[in-house]
Each structure stands twice: as structure tokens, then as C-alpha cells.
């Protein structure tokens, strides 16, 4: 094991999969000559050349469609969006074509494509660059969605996504690119199955369900709660679709109280579905109403103080836990 950044973990995953499979290639805005907007593709052009690392025009709908066509004829494209807010320009390709082609072709065409890039709010990017898109895409049958919160998960989930025969969205965290964490050595073929949650911290009093940017704030909340003798269990979903329901139900049956922390807005969100499934499947295990902590249901402000007021926080999670404990 060694300590590397989230950015380096993604870079290693890309390099390993491109080297392993000649059908894999990376395409997107500035991924080649500029080494990526966030330097995730640093050095890949020099190593693999312009037929494997391809700069595209500023035309998300166009290069997303090109990637889907390439996947239909046997290649395995990795399409980078500079931000998943820009993926909304390619919504038709991602929602209408990629997930439906297998069914609409009667099983003739798989679409093994990976869409990746930063998702969700970062820091003072304004309303049009701060979208958390997971609930939009989770509503679409045929798409898989993972949300790595650590360098290890970033590498293992991206490699698994590239090898999957379905379209997969790897929703990265822009603010985490410089975060460091322990990852297996490069000679280990690290694969983390899609749909497998991780128990980040064991507890007995309440389950905090989180993913992506809410993972570190959930852990910070758990640390603060421990000072008040409230023992929180923290579950990192890692994948939104498929979602690890057995892990969620097991934890809730243990603690009997639930707080769901999500980076997206509350209306029709990921937390809504999780809350519904918990009460549907194991209602008798609940000793208190399920609580949710999310963004406020407003366009993201640019002002820093207002932005912080809108976003989920450790303090908001602590308040939600105290309400039911």
C-alpha cells in the first residue's frame, strides 16, 4: 500500500486499462495536449499517443454520440466531461441512446462506455456549474452510476466501470482531486465491484448513509457525535445504481435509526428512494423517523457564505442525528 492522491489514482486506472486492452481509449475536452482540465490524464498522450488519447471540440453531444457509436462496434471508450454540468448538453445521447441500445437492438449491440468527470458542487462555481446529476441519471434504466469518495475507490471503481459491458457513469468529486489516501501498489489489479457499499465506521446508535462529497462530512459528524456518547455507523454507498441494499438494511436493523446525507437536492433525490425502500422492507426495525440532509432546494448561489448555507454539512448531520437520538 502507498499514499497517493485521488487524481493520481484515477490516472493510474486510466493508464492500466488503456495498456491492458487495445480497445480502450480516452476522449474529451483538453484530455490530450493539456493533460486534462484537472490533470487527471497527465502524461497519457505521451505514453499512448493521439489515437488512444483524443482531444475533442467543445461539443459534448457530438463526442458523447461518437463514443456510443464506437462502443457499439466493439471499442471501450472513456468519455471525460470537464464537469458533469456539461453532460446536460449530451443528455440525449446519455439518456436516449447509451442505455437503450441493447434492448432496442434486440441484444445485438452492447454499449460498454464509461462517462467520467467531476460532479456536484465545488467552490463558488455558480448555479450552472454546480449540478449534482446523480438523481437525474439514476432515474434512467440501463445506466450504472458510481460515486467514489476516496483515492482507492476512485481507482477500483473506474477500472471496474471500464470493464463493464454497460454504460457506466463515474461521478468524481472535484474538491477531492488533491485528497490523499492509501491505495494498493500498482502491480495489484484493483477492482471494486459496482454496487458494493463500504462500512466506513461501525456504530450502534444511528446509521448515517452517505456517498461522494458527503462521506468526509459524515465521518466528521460521527467524530463530533462520539464526544456526546452517540455512536454513529457510517455507510459509504460508493455506487448509486446498483445500490447495495443488503448493506443498508443490515446496518439499519442494527442501529434502528437513519440519517441520509446526500450532495444533491432533496426533491425526488437519492435519499427519497433509500428512505422509501427502508420503510418498505424493514419498517419494523425503525425506532424513529428517517432524517435527510441534502442541498437546499434552490439554485446554487455564487456567494461563498450563501453557498455554504445551501450545502450539507457536518453540523447539519449532527443536528439531524440528535433529533432522532
Residues 15-27: tens digit of each pLDDT: 999 999 999 999 9
pLDDT at 317: 98
pLDDT tens per residue across span 269-279: 999 999 999 99
Taking only the tens place, the pLDDT of each residue in 146-173 is 999 999 999 999 999 999 999 999 999 9
Mean pLDDT confidence for 262-270: 92
Bond into 242 cis (ω within 30): yes
Selecting from 3.30.930.10, 1.10.260.40, 3.40.50.920, 3.40.50.300, what CATH number does the domain 198-324 have?
Answer: 3.40.50.920
- pTM for this structure? 0.95
Supply the pLDDT for residue 155: 98
Mean pLDDT within 26-33: 97
Q: What pLDDT is attached to residue 92?
A: 96
Record the cell numbers describing residue 260, joined without a space: 441520509
pLDDT, tens only, 305-320: 999 999 999 999 999 9
Distance, in Å, from the CA atom of 233 to the CA atom of 200, rounded to the nearest integer, reads 8
226: its cell numbers: 462520539
Residue 10 is predicted with a pLDDT of: 98
Topology match between the domains 2-183 and 198-324? yes
C-alpha span between 151 and 121 (Å, rounded): 19
Specify whether the CB–CB gap between 212 and 239 falls below 8 A: no
Mean pLDDT, residues 117-122: 94
Percent of the chain at pLDDT > 70 equals 100
Catalytic residue among 17, 29, 129, 307: 129
Name the fold adopted by 2-183. Answer: Rossmann fold (3.40.50)
Mean pLDDT, residues 31-57: 97
Q: Calculate the average pLDDT of the chain.
A: 97
Asked about 60 being catalytic, the answer comes back as yes
Across 77-84, average pLDDT:
97
Residue 131 is among the residues annotated as catalytic for this protein = no
Cα angle for residues 105, 93, 196 (degrees, 5° grid)? 85
Give the span between the Cα atoms of 202 and 189, in whole angstroms: 28
Q: Where are the domains of the chain?
A: 2-183, 198-324
Catalytic one of 29, 60, 174, 307: 60
Query: Cα(12)–Cα(129) distance, rounded to whole angstroms?
Result: 27
Amino acid at each position: 500500500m502507498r499514499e497517493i492522491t485521488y487524481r493520481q489514482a484515477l490516472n493510474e486506472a486510466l493508464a492500466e486499462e488503456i495498456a491492458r486492452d487495445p480497445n480502450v481509449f480516452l476522449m474529451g475536452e483538453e484530455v490530450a495536449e493539456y493533460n486534462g482540465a484537472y490533470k487527471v490524464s497527465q502524461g497519457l498522450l505521451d505514453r499512448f499517443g493521439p489515437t488512444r488519447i483524443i482531444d475533442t471540440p467543445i461539443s459534448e453531444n457530438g463526442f458523447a454520440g461518437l463514443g456510443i457509436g464506437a462502443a457499439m462496434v466493439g471499442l471501450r471508450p472513456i468519455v471525460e466531461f470537464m464537469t458533469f454540468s456539461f453532460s446536460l448538453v449530451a443528455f440525449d445521447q446519455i439518456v436516449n441512446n447509451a442505455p437503450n441500445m441493447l434492448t432496442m437492438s434486440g441484444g445485438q449491440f452492447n454499449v460498454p462506455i464509461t462517462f467520467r468527470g467531476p460532479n456536484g458542487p465545488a467552490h463558488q462555481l455558480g448555479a450552472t456549474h454546480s449540478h449534482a446529476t446523480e438523481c437525474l441519471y439514476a432515474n434512467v434504466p440501463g445506466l450504472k452510476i458510481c460515486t467514489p469518495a476516496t483515492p482507492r475507490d476512485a481507482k477500483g471503481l473506474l477500472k471496474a466501470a471500464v470493464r463493464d459491458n454497460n454504460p457506466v457513469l463515474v461521478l468524481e468529486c472535484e474538491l477531492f482531486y488533491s485528497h490523499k489516501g492509501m491505495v494498493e501498489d500498482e502491480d495489484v489489479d484493483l477492482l471494486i465491484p459496482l454496487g458494493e457499499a463500504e462500512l466506513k465506521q461501525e456504530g450502534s446508535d444511528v446509521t448515517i448513509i452517505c456517498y461522494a462529497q458527503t462521506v468526509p462530512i459524515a465521518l466528521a459528524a460521527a467524530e463530533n457525535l462520539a464526544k456526546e456518547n452517540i455512536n454513529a455507523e457510517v455507510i459509504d454507498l460508493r455506487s448509486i445504481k446498483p445500490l447495495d441494499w443488503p448493506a443498508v438494511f443490515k446496518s439499519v436493523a442494527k442501529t434502528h435509526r437513519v440519517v441520509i446525507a446526500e450532495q444533491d437536492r432533496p426533491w425526488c433525490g437519492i435519499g427519497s428512494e433509500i428512505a422509501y425502500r427502508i420503510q418498505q422492507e424493514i419498517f419494523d426495525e425503525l425506532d424513529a423517523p428517517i432524517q435527510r440532509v441534502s442541498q437546499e432546494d434552490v439554485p446554487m448561489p455564487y456567494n461563498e457564505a450563501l453557498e455554504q448555507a445551501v450545502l450539507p454539512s457536518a453540523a447539519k448531520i449532527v443536528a439531524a442525528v440528535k433529533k432522532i437520538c
